[in-house]
Chain A
Amino acid sequence: MAIPKVLGTETEYGVIIRNRGHHHQALAAAAVIDSYPGGPVRVQWSYEHEAPGSDARGFGHENFGMPDPDSALINSVLSNGARLYVDHSHPEYSGPECFDPREATLYDKVGELVMARAGRVVQEALPPNQQIRLYKNNSDGKSSSYGAHENYLLSRQTPFGKVIEYLPTFLVSRQIYTGSGKVGSENHRPACSYQITQRADFFEEVVGLETTLRRPIVNTRDEPHGDPTRYRRLHVIIGDANLSEVQTFLKLGTTALFLHAMEDDALPSALELAEPVKACWQISHDLSLSQPVALAEGGSITALELQFLYLEWLSEYARRHLDHPVWTELLEEWEGVLLDLEEDPFRTSDRLDWTAKLRLLEGYRSRENLRWSHPRLAALALQYHDVEPSRSIYHRLVERGAMRRMFTRSEVERAERLPPESTRAWFRGTCVSRFGASLVAANWDSLLFETNRDGLVRVSMMEPLQGDRVTAGPLLGRVSDPAELIRELGKKNG
């Protein structure tokens, strides 16, 4: 039986200070992280167990992916268990480990609130003619892309070759409901007026370790952030950052369900494509969703047809093996969105960023009689993604009831303060709230405390599902300081 799909997202935000001149992006990103007022604990992020150069195919790259020493200094761990830091000159919010795709969607949404709050504080310190802007998107429209990554827990027993065989077709076909929409093409792909995704143009390999160049559809980074004998962390880098909550839920939920079924050998066929990289951008460029892509064994199929097949297989799998109501909710949303995409993609404009944005752009274009290359269209498309609600076009749609939400404002604000309850993120976040002053370093799988009595003590958290509220709650309830916590943990383990 497949292991639970503990999951989470990490999103790099676009950042610029208007009228500041060139070369200020790294500074602006650092200012954002420094300014977040939500009660973070500023700690050294320990890289001890991180190995972004380790490769799931069984060989490592030398000198690959070493962290920038400076970036380790601008690092916060939040009371909800998330990490807030600077990555490659972008402010990044890495949400906490979540138990199911609905919860992971909520904590992904919190990232927008975190960035908006931080942005307002940065703005107060700027001269009046300079304005900070933060965007939850993945491209500057000039062939630079930044990521929105997803992480899923896999069993170490699952052969990685199976992931390489099965996953590419699912990832390139899911683009029809994971795309956030983009004006034009980039990275030397064929010209188009508008396309479904922000990211497809940047993918150049089927499988690989890189994330910053020659990006692969299946990323092989093998960095489990947990017991390496039991787990893998599948790092999915091909998705877009979504504003729509329903869309994030679909992206995470369908992928988690796919991985469940794949681990249980419940997929009848890998449906391998003849040219996955070409299919990736072809599907993104095809707004009619009608152009077939070639299958490796001959014949061709559309992305929509592929997704209907996956829906059928995974509905059957879920019915037999999964009984949590989240999967029922997911399957209903998934079926609804596929049927609407087939009928008329604009029917999904209350749920999908790419169709919501396209509807506005088409309306604006016809009213003003603008060509697709007009900068006001590009400005509108960019501003859709602004994290500040007063400027965000996405938020205008939400306020009018034209875009569905899954969570209330108070649910998002609560998740900004409190961690998920069913994973080790609960222990991390609660320790940040209660014992933050004694935390000197943190990592996904450990916390480093310093107390007068014990000096430096590392608390290891190699099991993603341990440290949850039910099992760790009583312990944290009876200790009053970090020294006592460490003593109690010593008893438990000793």
Chain B
Amino acid sequence: MADQEKGRRRRRTKGGPPSGENDGAGLGLAQVDSEKIDDLLEEIDSVLEENAEEFVKNYIQKGGE
């Protein structure tokens, strides 16, 4: 535990007004740099299930636990 004190940084205070909107506009988060993940998204396109609508609609589970 020797490093604990050294490593203890004080938390920064958040700047700017809080944005609690969760309406799909900006989600209160910085926008994703879409260029950076463009090739990843293309790769995802190639593995996504066919007939997404049917796939999602039919995924019905019994409650568990």
User: What residues of chain A have their CB less than 8 Å away from a CB belonging to chain B?
Assistant: 12, 14-16, 18, 25-26, 87-90, 140-142, 144-147, 149, 192-195, 211-213, 215, 237, 285-288, 290-291, 308, 315, 318-319, 322-323, 327-328, 331-332, 335, 338-339, 342-346, 358-360, 362-364, 366-367, 371-372, 375-376, 378-380, 382-383, 390-391, 393, 396-397, 400, 402
A291-B18, A363-B34, A367-B41 given; 20 more Cβ-contact pairs under 8 Å:
A12-B64, A15-B61, A16-B61, A18-B58, A88-B62, A146-B64, A193-B27, A286-B22, A287-B28, A288-B29, A290-B20, A290-B28, A319-B4, A319-B5, A322-B1, A339-B12, A342-B14, A358-B29, A359-B32, A396-B40
> B13-36 interface mask toward A, CB cutoff 8 Å, 1 = contact, 0 = none?
010001111111001111110100
* Contacting residue for B55 out of A288, A358, A379, CB 8 A: A379
In the complex formed, the residue of B with least CB distance to A25 is B62
User: What residues of chain B have their CB less than 8 Å away from a CB belonging to chain A?
Assistant: 1, 3-5, 7-9, 11-12, 14, 18-24, 27-32, 34, 37-38, 40-41, 43-44, 47-49, 52-53, 55-65
**A101 CB to nearest chain B CB (Å):** 16
A86 to B23, CA, bound (A): 38
Q: Are A396 and B43 in contact (CB under 8 A)?
A: yes
**B62 CB to nearest chain A CB (Å):** 5
In the complex formed, the residue of A with least CB distance to B46 is A396
Sample (19) of A-B pairs whose CB atoms are under 8 Å apart? A25-B61, A25-B62, A144-B60, A144-B63, A145-B63, A194-B27, A212-B64, A290-B20, A290-B28, A335-B8, A358-B27, A359-B37, A367-B34, A375-B53, A379-B52, A382-B56, A382-B59, A383-B47, A397-B40
* Contacting residue for B48 out of A328, A371, A372, A379, CB 8 A: A379
A372 to B32, CA, bound (A): 15
Point out which of B3, B14, B23 has the most chain A C-beta atoms below 10 A from its C-beta: B14
**B25 CB to nearest chain A CB (Å):** 9
User: Across the interface, which residues of A come within 8 angstroms of B29, CB to CB?
Assistant: 287-288, 344-346, 358, 362
Q: Are A14 and B61 in contact (CB under 8 A)?
A: yes
**A306 CB to nearest chain B CB (Å):** 12
Point out which of A144, A237, A319, A379 has the most chain B C-beta atoms below 10 A from its C-beta: A379
Point out which of B8, B14, B59 has the most chain A C-beta atoms below 10 A from its C-beta: B59
**A354 CB to nearest chain B CB (Å):** 11
A371 to B25, CA, bound (A): 10
User: Across the interface, which residues of B come within 8 angstroms of A145, CB to CB?
Assistant: 63-65
User: Across the interface, which residues of A come within 8 angstroms of B18, CB to CB?
Assistant: 288, 290-291
